[in-house]
Structure formats: C-alpha cells, structure tokens
Amino acid sequence: MKVAVTGAAGFVGTNLVNQLVDQGNEVIAIDRTRSVNVRQDGVTWVDGDVLDRASMEKALAGAEVVYHLVAMITLAQKDELAWTVNTKGVRTVAEAALAVGVRKMVHCSSVHSFDQENCNGILSETSARSVDPARPVYDRSKWQGEIELREVIDSGLDAVICNPTGVYGPADYGLSRVNGLLRTAARGRMPVFVGGGFDFVDDRDVAAGLMAAAEKGQTGENYLLSGHMLELTKAMRIAAGAAGRRGPLFGIPLWLLETVIPILEPIGTKLGSDVLSKSAMSAILAAPEIDGSKARAELGYAPRPAEETIRDLIAFLVSSGQLGS
C-alpha cells in the first residue's frame, strides 16, 4: 500500500516510517529534511509545504493513507508561526487529502489539546479542551488544529485523531526534552530531580497506534495513546542504573516546586532554558490519570512497560554514540 507521512524525518516520523516499511508499505516521506535513519528501500522523499495546498496535493497524489505529524512544539504563550503550522497546516493537508482522494487520514495531535488542569484527575477523550488564552500556544493550537480537521471531515474526509501523551524512547537522533533528561541521568549528572510524574508513552508504541488507527479508527474519533504514569525521579534512577550509574537521591516535592517556580523561571529564561518554567511544569503539577481504554478496546493498542522503554533508550544512546561520558 502507498502511504504518505508528513514530518517523516522527525522523532515519531522516523519510527513510523520504519514500521510502515517493515510491513511492506511504499512510503512517501514528506519533509524538508532528509533522514538517513529511516529504511531507504521503499521510501521516496519529497518536499512539501503543509501551508501550501498545491504543494500538498502534489505530494499526496496516489497515497491511500496519509499520516500528518508536522507540528511546532513550543512552551511559549504566543508564537504566530507555531499557531499557523499547527492549525492552518492541518487544514491544508486535510483539504489536499480530500482533493486527491486519500482513503484515510490519521492526524497526530497531542494530549496537550486537552485541559489537563481541569479534568478532575482523570482525562479521557470526553474531557474539556485547551481553550484558555493563558495556556501555551502549543496546547491551544493543537486543539484548534483538531477543529480545523473536523470541518474537512464534515466535507467528506475520512480522518481520525490520535492524542499521544508524553513521547519518549528510541530511536531519537535529536533528543526530545524527556530523552535529554534521561541521558543526563544516565551520565550520572543528576543528584536531585523534581518529584511528581506524568503519563509517558514509547514512540514505537505511538507509531503502532497511529497505524492501528488507520486500519480500525472510526471517522472523526479521538484516541488517547497513553503509556504509563511514571514517577519522574524513579525514571531517572532507572536510566542511571541502566548505564551503571547512580541516579537522583531524592525528588523535590511538588508543593515546594510550585513555590519556587516563580523564582526559577526568570533565572532559566536568562540562561536560555525553559525546563523549569511554569509551562513546562504545569502538566506534571496536574498529573492527571490518562484513560487509554478506548484505544485499547477499539484499536487493540497495547503500550509496553516503561522500564523496557527506558532501558532500550539507554542502549540506543550507547549504540548511536549519543550517551557520551
């Protein structure tokens, strides 16, 4: 089957393309960047601008299924380019897919399109969305992107929406924030970390979930691709242990973290870091339980254990020369 993947050179894109090729698909890899880390047989790289309808129609021509992964991730409260890419970009790809006769579109949104702070501790596909203007632009734009897609669905496009939680694991050649922190722990450079936790999901499981959604997902439905609630300090200790090093001795309590963030955030800004910003910590402070039962029941989705992901990540960092000393 001929399929197309936007953002094919990215973190999730790399893993998705490899799994698609492994299953015998012919892949149109759409990205301005070319990746040497994906299977080359069965992959055709093409340029494509997700903000240009004609460009996307040309790129998607002949594809039965399109996976839309392109997004701009930022913790900023305002970013016009991120807003445009995450909203207009979705509509443009969807309209192009409808125009050229794509059979199915799978849009990779995010758990951040949901209001994690006001879900009463349990988040499901029916929970409230990120509409508060005070939320980071990424959160609001991911929800608006879903709205844009639904308008094209109403015009006849068969599309589903997947909402992964915190994505981590191998194979990551650019290192996401979470993978970067796990690498720091594996290097033995993290004597203390923050307490609390979040639902993290292996990127390989996200790729498998997207493929299952293309096959079994119902038109217009959302599917939360959850992993497991993982206590952050424990995760860092597992990573350190996998590399034969000592992890954090303790985690900073969340109540203390809430107190010091207003102090640490401006310091981090001056140092060019947003790791300890209010936006970065908001999801951890909320830490809702993610109800992933819908994806499990309807898609057959089954995420692997967190310990396996972390150990595989450290092994990957070693084999790819990214762990260092």
Per-residue pLDDT of the chain in tens (325 residues, 90 and over written 9): 999 999 999 999 999 999 999 999 999 999 988 877 777 788 999 999 999 999 999 999 999 999 999 999 988 888 999 999 999 999 999 999 999 999 999 999 999 999 988 888 899 999 999 999 888 899 999 999 999 999 999 999 999 999 999 999 998 988 898 999 999 999 998 888 877 889 999 999 999 999 999 999 999 999 999 999 999 999 999 999 999 998 888 777 766 666 766 655 564 555 455 555 566 666 666 778 999 999 999 999 999 999 999 999 999 999 999 987 6
CATH architecture under which domain 2-168+200-227+289-305 falls:
3-Layer(aba) Sandwich (3.40)
Residue 213 CB partners (closer than 8 Å, separation 6+): 106, 160, 162, 223, 299
Taking the model in full, what pTM does it have? 0.92
